[in-house]
Structure 1
Amino acid sequence: MSNLKLIIKREFIARVRNRTFVVMTFLSPLIMVGMISLIAWLATLNNDEIRKVAFYDETGLFSTDFKDSGDVDYIDYSHLTLNDAKDSVVIKKLDGLLYVPKKNSNSELAKSIQFYADEAPSISILNRIEKIIASKLTNQNFKEKGLDLDAIENSKAKVNILIENFSGEKTSKMSSYVKMIFGGLAGYFLMMFIIIYGNMVMRSVIEEKSNRIIEIIISSVKPLQLMMGKILGTSFAGILQFFIWVILGGVLLAVVSSVFGIDPQPAGIDQSMAMQGDSQQEIQLILQDIMKLPLGTLVLSFFIYFIGGYFLYSSIYAAIGAAVDSETDSQQFMLPIILPLMLGIYVGFFSVIENPHGTVSTVFSMIPLTSPIVMLMRIPFGVPWWEVLISMLLLIGSIIFITWMAGKIYRVGILMYGKKPSYKELFKWMKY
């Protein structure tokens, strides 16, 4: 046990004192905050840009419908010929020309409208123009059929569905998004931590092996103790770095937002979501949804899956590091590690969000290689305690089994040099 403590201390100090570790610990939050601020600033510049669109209307139906908005100015070129209108748009470098030809019927007109532009037009502008034209033609069709437009408009029903559970508690329409954000961030951070610090463990093993230091260390320490010491020491250094990132990043983001007046959330990502949350009642319901989340269970589960997932994959990383002579040789073994992590993320975002209690979500939240990510994404949606317990027990059992197998590979591979091992050889090493 004393040897294990010494190895953990040595690995922790070696990581913390490493120049790259120190630089990236304090530089990474600056880079991330800088990127977020740059994206937000560029988004504001993009929103301030006013597009100029000309239109040539042979029908005369839309002369008063295309009105200037905050980001688009419309110019009427209907008094010119079509060719002159095109030339003027090119000379003045406008964003495009909308051509509305004269047709015998509205159905023909709807299929004949064209937009001339040298560059691909903005999708939002095209959608807006299509909506204006469609609304006008629809009203024209109503008039031709002798329908009263005022009566139709007054007859339109606006539906606002209120969501409430069977115990009488109201919830927000944004509830699923709130749960998705909390679960998604937890799963994503876990995946990134496993990849970053698992690679640290592997590189540490490869470095000592290539320097032949391992031959001296292994003479006084058991291979399994050495492997566990590297995993624990690196994990403690990683957790320290992670907390520094969170604290420093939050402080920097708050300072940048207040000093420069930059909103870190880019505008225009989802206007419909923003509009839904404008009302005070909706905001209150969203806050209630956050408070009703199983935050205690989520924090405790995050800690358990965080440690469990890291140990599971770090053991594999350590075994791979012991089996190869250089980081380049390790690439052939990376797919079995990356694939379950990526699968967990994809299942989380495409299956859990859509149906958190479905068969796919439930099965992958039980498989140990994907459960740390998928189950964390499921917990905000409410998971029975026995499912979480089964998932954790399977994860713990898998950690013991995989650590035991990785220890066998580590024990043999740590003293093997000059040959790239195959999967068949790794399997043989497990039997020694």
Structure 2
Amino acid sequence: MNLWAIAVFEFQRYFKWKQEIISLGLMLLSLVLMSTWPLLKTWLDNDYKVALISNAASPSISGFQISQLPPDLADTALSGVGEVWDLVVQVKDNTLLITAESSASWQDKITPQLQDWLQKQRIAQLPLTAEQKTIVNTLPEAQLIFLKKDSAKQNKEQQMVSGGLLILLVIGVFSGFGFMFTAITTEKQQRVTEQLLTLISTREWIDGKILGISLFCLKSMLTTGLFLYLMVQAVSLAKGKGMFLLPITAWELASAVLFVSLGLLLINSFMAGFAATIDDPNHSSRSLVMFLPTVPLGVVFSAMDNAEGSLMHILSLFPLTSFAAMPMRMASVSVPWWEWLVSLLLLLACLFWLKSAASRVFELGIRMYGKEPEWSLLLKTFLFARVKE
């Protein structure tokens, strides 16, 4: 079957076994390094030595060895900066004087904590009662009460999954843009169209190209998703929290793969049709139009912080955004089965229509050399004209 042969060709055009094996090897190496890094960092890091010239009790700051010295040893401590001490801290007129040999990034960590320490010392010197000092030093409590147990933790994990899915969609969309744009414009410039059209129809050509590149984009998303999951797993293990389990069910995961796959077919259909109308990719201003498929992702991103809101509800049903919005919404809230079904049917209908329209535009553009079709002809072909078999 010509369609499947083209799809396999387009997939294998970018899929390289050696590259995939190397990528998996790097993932496993990253997992090992991420798991052992905290231990290695603790072993390699040395605490910075700080001389605190003050009679007040010194603070305890992680990563710093703070030694308290009396004021009469200030000059001695300052003479040892860079050799004995990494920092010398003095308090003069309620001001912190921090002396170091040279500027370093680690100084930004200790400075605010020393400021907090000095502020507490100043508060302690005020003519306040013990109760008043306690009130000043203590922030008011705020308690959030959730009727569902572990809902806060679950909500945080769901937001992380939604953010990760959006990142994977961006990778899939831009991969499709690059591969589809390069493949079609290169074939057109190399004038291989005439030979291909003697063997296959334009519909088989575009369908196979869309399917093959979409499969490769999906593969790229799954590979990247596995890498991100291993990274999160490594961080969880390094912190001693055990294995991290995705807060989604098998049904939600399968639904996400279904919607994302259809979304990739939808986007790549648009890209395939429009890329065929570009004659010279180096000088054509139409290349910018191919970035339009990123607009739905931007809209979904703006609404993903409120999965229960009306906007996300609409986006999960609208076919041009549902491939991204519905999986994110399902990861956060319970979606009625009929809404899921309506969203899927609308997405399939939109995909069928857009693929048909893209096929007409593809046939119009792929046969044209030396010029690009007028916008009016392009719009007419996209909306109305039928492909002549």
TM-score range, shorter chain: 0.7 to 0.9
Amino acid corresponding to residue 310 of structure 1 in structure 2: L
Partner residue, 2:276: 322
| 2:365–2:372 Cα contact (<8 Å) kept | no
| 2:47–2:65 Cα contact (<8 Å) kept | yes
Partner residue, 2:235: 265
Give a deviation string over 1:204-257, Cα, whole Å, max 9, x none.
32333233222232245332232112112333455566667777x699x6xxx9
Amino acid corresponding to residue 332 of structure 1 in structure 2: L
Amino acid corresponding to residue 265 of structure 1 in structure 2: V
User: Which one of 296, 305, 315 corresponds to residue 340 of structure 1?
Assistant: 296
Partner residue, 2:64: 72
Aligned counterparts of 1:56 and 1:119: Cα–Cα separation in 2: 18
Partner residue, 1:125: 110
Consecutive unaligned residues of structure 2, counting only runs of 5 or more, are none
Cα shift at 1:313: 0.4
Aligned counterparts of 1:414 and 1:186: Cα–Cα separation in 2: 34
Amino acid corresponding to residue 104 of structure 2 in structure 1: E
Summarize the alignment of residues 173-322 of structure 1 with structure 2, pairs less than 5 Å apart: 173-239=152-218, 264-265=234-235, 290=247, 293=248, 295-322=249-276
Give a deviation string over 1:360-411, Cα, whole Å, max 9, x none.
4334334433332232222122143244344333323322332232122101
RMSD: 4.2
SS in 2 for 1:113: strand
Structure 2 vs 1, CA of residues 250 and 98 (structure 1 numbering), >3 Å: closer, same or farther?
Answer: closer
Give a deviation string over 1:168-204, Cα, whole Å, max 9, x none.
xx23431211211233333332332233245333333
Aligned counterparts of 1:135 and 1:114: Cα–Cα separation in 2: 17
Q: Does 1:25 align with 2:32?
A: no
Aligned counterparts of 2:375 and 2:89: Cα–Cα separation in 1: 63
Amino acid corresponding to residue 113 of structure 1 in structure 2: L
Percentage identity across aligned positions?
17
Aligned counterparts of 2:362 and 2:176: Cα–Cα separation in 1: 18
SS in 1 for 2:16: helix
SS in 1 for 2:212: helix
Cα shift at 1:314: 0.6
**What is the number of residues matched between the two proteins?**
377
Aligned counterparts of 1:422 and 1:53: Cα–Cα separation in 2: 72
Cα shift at 1:318: 0.7
Aligned counterparts of 1:156 and 1:245: Cα–Cα separation in 2: 43
Cα shift at 1:302: 0.8
Amino acid corresponding to residue 146 of structure 1 in structure 2: T
SS in 2 for 1:305: helix
Partner residue, 1:99: 90
Give a deviation string over 1:326-357, Cα, whole Å, max 9, x none.
5545643333133333443x32xxx423x211
Aligned counterparts of 1:367 and 1:156: Cα–Cα separation in 2: 46
Aligned counterparts of 1:404 and 1:92: Cα–Cα separation in 2: 76
Aligned counterparts of 1:97 and 1:266: Cα–Cα separation in 2: 37
Partner residue, 1:382: 333
Give a deviation string over 1:147-175, Cα, whole Å, max 9, x none.
2699989x99988755324xxxx234312
Structure 2 vs 1, CA of residues 401 and 21 (structure 1 numbering), >3 Å: closer, same or farther?
Answer: same
Partner residue, 1:50: 46
Amino acid corresponding to residue 66 of structure 1 in structure 2: P
Partner residue, 1:271: none
| 1:194–1:309 Cα contact (<8 Å) kept | no
Aligned counterparts of 1:66 and 1:163: Cα–Cα separation in 2: 36
Partner residue, 1:359: 310
Consecutive unaligned residues of structure 1, counting only runs of 5 or more, are 104-108, 269-273
SS in 2 for 1:208: helix
Partner residue, 2:4: 8
SS in 2 for 1:54: strand
Cα shift at 1:322: 1.1
Structure 2 vs 1, CA of residues 70 and 82 (structure 1 numbering), >3 Å: closer, same or farther?
Answer: closer
Give a deviation string over 1:280-302, Cα, whole Å, max 9, x none.
xxx99x97x94xx5x24412321
Aligned counterparts of 1:236 and 1:149: Cα–Cα separation in 2: 67
Aligned counterparts of 1:54 and 1:317: Cα–Cα separation in 2: 60
| 2:180–2:272 Cα contact (<8 Å) kept | yes
Aligned counterparts of 1:422 and 1:50: Cα–Cα separation in 2: 68
- Give TM-score, length-normalised by structure 2: 0.77
Amino acid corresponding to residue 204 of structure 1 in structure 2: A
| 1:39–1:266 Cα contact (<8 Å) kept | no
Summarize the alignment of residues 387-402 of structure 1 with structure 2, pairs less than 5 Å apart: 387-402=339-354
Amino acid corresponding to residue 89 of structure 2 in structure 1: L
| 2:319–2:346 Cα contact (<8 Å) kept | yes
Aligned counterparts of 1:335 and 1:317: Cα–Cα separation in 2: 9
Aligned counterparts of 2:212 and 2:376: Cα–Cα separation in 1: 31
Partner residue, 1:146: 129
